[in-house]
Structure 1
Amino acid sequence: MIDRRFRLQEHGTSFRQEAMAGAVSFFTVVYIVAVNAAILADAGVPFEAGVIATVLTAVTGCLLVGFWANSPIVLVPGMGINALFSYTLVHGMGLTWQEALAAVLISGIMVTVVSFTPLSRLIAASIPESLKHAITAGIGLFLTFIGLQKGGIVVPSESTLVAFGNLAHAKPLLTMATFAVTLVLFVRNVRGNLLIGIAAGTLLAALFGGTKLGETGGFGFSAADYASVFGAMSFAKATTAVFWIAVFSLVLVILFESVGLIHGQLQMANRPEKFKRSLQASAMSVIASGLFGSSPTVSAVESAAGIASGGRTGLTAVTTGVLFAASLLFLPVIKLIPDSAIAPVLILIGGLMIQNVRNIPFDDMTEWFPAYLIIAFIPLTSSIVDGMAFGFLAYPLLKIAAGKWREVGMAAYVIAALFLANFVLHAL
C-alpha cells in the first residue's frame, strides 16, 4: 500500500531508503524547534507554546508536501522569515504578535491563491535559467557557511567579521573529524551515509567531551500556555497601511524564497515535475502557521540533506513529519546531538549544490553577472530573498544596457519592481 501511495518503485527507491532520508532531514533540521521558539519568544510568544507551535507547524507542513506533492521536501518555520516576523513586523512596525500572526494567515491565503493559478507557473517560467542555477548555488554556499559556523570552524571576528576557529578547542576538531568520516562514507556510497555520519559525530563528541550523554536536561510544557497561542490572530489593525505593508513583505519573501528553494531542491532530486504541487503544499502550510501560532514555513534548506541521502518521494517528508511529532517526547535526547555532528552534513550538501554554477553561461555578462550577485549576496547577507533581489534587479538593468531588453519578459520586469518596492518599504 505504501509502495502504491508514494510510487516507490517508479521513483527507483525503497521504504528503507526513504525512511533513512527522512531521518537525515529531521536530524539536520530539528534545531529549528528550539531556535524558532526562541525567536518567537522575542516577539512575545511564550517559549513553551512556541515549541509546540513550531512542532505542529512542521508536522503539518511535512505531511502536506508528502501526501499532496509526493515530494521529499521538508517544510518548517523558516530561518530569516522568523526574524522578519519578530524583529521587523513586531518590533519594527509595531504590530503585536497576534496581529503579526493575522498577517501570516492572510499572506498564506494570498500565496495559496497564486499557487493554484497559472500565476505560479508564470512566475517560475519568468525566472531566467541562469538565475535559477545561481539561487541553488547561492543556497549551497549559505548552507556551507551555516555549517562552518555551527561547527566552530568559522567564528565571529571584530576586525574581519569572520575568522578561522581556534583549533585548541574541541568543537572545530570534532567537526573536522566527523566531516572526514562523513566524506569517506559518502564517497564510498555507503547506505545511510549521512545518518551514520551524524551518529558517528555524536559518539565522537561523547568520547571527547563535546557532549555528555548522561545530561539530557529537561523540558516541560503547559497545554494552557499553548491554548493562548492557537488561533490567536488579531485583525485589529487590518484597516491600517502598516498591516498591509507587513502582508506585502511576507508574500514577497514567502513566494520568491519558496520558488527558489523548491526549484533548486527538485532539480537536485531530478523531479522538476513536482514543482507546482510542492509550491501549493508550501503555501497551504503558511496558512497553518498562522493558525498554530508560528512564523511562516518555507522549504527547509536542509531538505537537500534528505535528497542527497536518496529521498525521492513524499515518504521522506512524511517520515520527517512523524519524527517531528515524536520530538516533543524526546526533545531532551535530540538536544544531545552536537553541532559538530550536524555541521559536516550541511557543508557537504552545500558542496553538492554549488555544482550548479557549471550551467551558468559565463560567456554572456548579462547572464553571469546577475547570477554572481545572487551567489555572493545570499550567504553574505544571510538572506535568500535579499540575495535574490540583487540578481533580479541587475538582470533587466544589464539587459537594457546591452541593448537586449527584448530578452527580458514582462513578468521579470514586474518581479524586479516588486523587489525594489520591498527595499523602499523597508527603508521607510
Structure 2
Amino acid sequence: MLEKLFKLSENGTTVRTEVLAGITTFLTMAYIIFVNPAMLADAGMDKGAVFVATCLAAAIGCFIMGFVANYPIAQAPGMGLNAFFTYGVVLGMGHTWQVALGAVFVSGVIFMALSIFKVREWIINSIPLSLRTGISAGIGLFLAFIGLQNAGVVIDNPATLVSRGDITSLKPALAALGLFLTIALVYRGVRGAVMVAILVVTAIGIAVGDVQWGGLMATPPSIAPTFMQMNIADVFEVGMISVVFAFLFVDLFDTAGTLVGVATKAGFIKEDGKLPRLDKALLSDSTATCVGAVLGTSSTTSFVESTAGVAAGGRTGLTAVVVGVLFLLALFFSPLAGMIPAYATAGALFYVAILMMSGLVAVDWRDLTEAAPVVVTCLLMPLTYSIAEGIALGFISYAVIKLLSGKGREVSASVWVLSAIFVAKYALQ
C-alpha cells in the first residue's frame, strides 16, 4: 500500500528511511507547538485551544502535502505570520482575533484560487527579488524584536520609545542562554536543537521557581474557544486590504521559496528548471491555511526545516505523513506546552530571524534603486510594528524610486497596481 501511494522504489527510498526522515523533520520544527500558542495567546486567544489548533493544522497540512503532492515537506503555522497576526493585526491595528482569523481564511481562499488557475508563477516572477528578500528579512527583524521584548532585553521607554532592560535579571539571562544554546546545538548538528534549548531553559525556570510544574501529559484541551470563530464579514473593509495582501504574499513567497529550496536539496528539479507537481504542492499549502483558520490558528505554511528530513533521506510524502502523525501525538503534551515561558521561546525567535535575514546576500547593494526599497521594508516592519506596513511602504518606495531614477520600465505591472492600491489605502484612512 505504501509503495503504491508514495512510489518508494521509484524515488530510491524505503519505509525505514522515510520514517527516520519524518522524525528528524518533526524534531527540528516541533518548537512551533510551544511558540505559536504563546504568541497567539497575546492576541487574547485561548492558549489551550490554539495548542490543539496548531497540532491539528500541522497534522492536516502534512497529510495533504504527503498524500496529494507526495513531497517530504512538512507544514505548520508559520513563524512571522503568527507575529503579524498578533502584534500587527490585533494589538497594532486594533482588530479582534476573530477578524484576523477571517483575514487568514480569505487569504487562503485567494491563494487556493491562484493555485487552481495557475497564475501564481506570474505573481511570484513579477515581484522583484529584492522586494521578496526585503519582506523575508524584515519579518526576521520583526521576530527578533518581539523575542527581545519577550525576554525583557528591550523595554518601553517614554523618551526613546525603547531601551535596554535589566539584562542581568533572570528572564533576559535565561533568554540569552536559550539563544546561545540554540546556535551552538544547531551548529553541532543536534537534531531538535531549537526544541532542546526551549526545554532546557524551561527546566531551569522550574528549578529556580519561576515556572510552576504542570505535568507532562494530559487529555488535549478543548478546541471550542477557537473553532469556527473567524469573522469573515469584517474582512471586506478598506483597511483590511493590506492585511489580506500581507498574509497572502508572505505565505505565497515563503511557500515558493521553501518548495524550491527543499526540492533542490532533494534533487526534484527537472532539467528544464521546473518542479513537478508544483500545483499540487501549492494547493496543499493553501488548503492547509484555510483549514488552520477554521480550527483557530494563523496561516499554515511549508517549513524550511523540512530540509533536515530530506538530508536524512526523505524523498516522498511518507516523510510528511510521519510528521503529521507525530503532531497528533503531540496533542497529549499540552501541560508541557502550557508551562513554556515567553523568555524560553525568545532564542527560537532570534534563530528564525537569522535564517530569514540570510537572504540579504542576494541583494545587489551596488544598485541603490534595488537596495533602498529593501532597507525601507526591513526597517519599517519592526519600527511600525507591522509586517503589512513594511510591505506596503516597500512596494511604494520601489515604484517611486524606480520611476524617479528613470527605470520605470523595470517595474512590473503587478507592482504598479499593488503600489496604487496601497497609496489609495493610505489616502482613504
TM-score, normalization by structure 2: 0.76
Q: What is the CA distance between 1:360 and its match in structure 2?
A: 0.7
Equivalences for residues 24-423 of structure 1 within 5 A: 24-33=28-37, 35-36=39-40, 39=43, 41=45, 52-53=52-53, 55-69=55-69, 70=71, 72-76=73-77, 78-79=81-82, 80-81=84-85, 97=98, 107-213=107-213, 225=224, 243=236, 245=238, 248=241, 251-266=244-259, 269=262, 271=264, 273=275, 276-289=279-292, 291-292=294-295, 294=296, 296-299=298-301, 303-304=303-304, 306-307=305-306, 309=308, 318=321, 321-423=324-426
| Equivalent-residue separation in structure 2 for 1:242 and 1:54 (angstroms) | 22
| Equivalent-residue separation in structure 2 for 1:159 and 1:209 (angstroms) | 34
Q: What is the CA distance between 1:398 and its match in structure 2?
A: 1.1
Q: What is the CA distance between 1:116 and its match in structure 2?
A: 1.9
| Equivalent-residue separation in structure 1 for 2:261 and 2:47 (angstroms) | 35
| Paired residues of 2:87 and 2:385 also in contact (CA < 8 A) | no
| Equivalent-residue separation in structure 1 for 2:426 and 2:381 (angstroms) | 15
| Equivalent-residue separation in structure 2 for 1:16 and 1:232 (angstroms) | 37
Tell me the alpha carbon deviations over residues 264-312 of structure 1, each in whole angstroms, 9 at most, x when there is no partner.
44466464948654432232234324544x3652438xx45x3575567
Q: What is the CA distance between 1:405 and its match in structure 2?
A: 1.2
| Paired residues of 2:217 and 2:334 also in contact (CA < 8 A) | no
| Paired residues of 1:213 and 1:336 also in contact (CA < 8 A) | yes
| Paired residues of 1:22 and 1:311 also in contact (CA < 8 A) | no
| Equivalent-residue separation in structure 2 for 1:96 and 1:192 (angstroms) | 31
Distance 1:142 1:263, change over 3 A: farther
Say which SS state the counterpart of residue 39 (structure 1) adopts: coil
| Equivalent-residue separation in structure 2 for 1:173 and 1:333 (angstroms) | 22
| Equivalent-residue separation in structure 1 for 2:287 and 2:107 (angstroms) | 10
Say which SS state the counterpart of residue 403 (structure 1) adopts: coil
| Equivalent-residue separation in structure 2 for 1:47 and 1:174 (angstroms) | 23
Percent identical: 28
| Equivalent-residue separation in structure 1 for 2:352 and 2:161 (angstroms) | 24
Q: What is the CA distance between 1:129 and its match in structure 2?
A: 1.5
Alignment equivalent of 2:27, drawn from 23, 41, 64 = 23
Look up the equivalent residue of 1:354 and give its one-letter code: M
Stretches of structure 2 lacking an aligned partner (at least 5 in a row):
270-274
Q: What is the CA distance between 1:49 and its match in structure 2?
A: 5.9
Say which SS state the counterpart of residue 203 (structure 1) adopts: helix
Q: What is the CA distance between 1:174 and its match in structure 2?
A: 1.5
Tell me the alpha carbon deviations over residues 115-138 of structure 1, each in whole angstroms, 9 at most, x when there is no partner.
222321111001111222222222
Alpha-carbon RMSD across the aligned residues, in angstroms, is 4.1
Stretches of structure 1 lacking an aligned partner (at least 5 in a row):
none
| Paired residues of 2:218 and 2:333 also in contact (CA < 8 A) | no
Say which SS state the counterpart of residue 114 (structure 1) adopts: helix
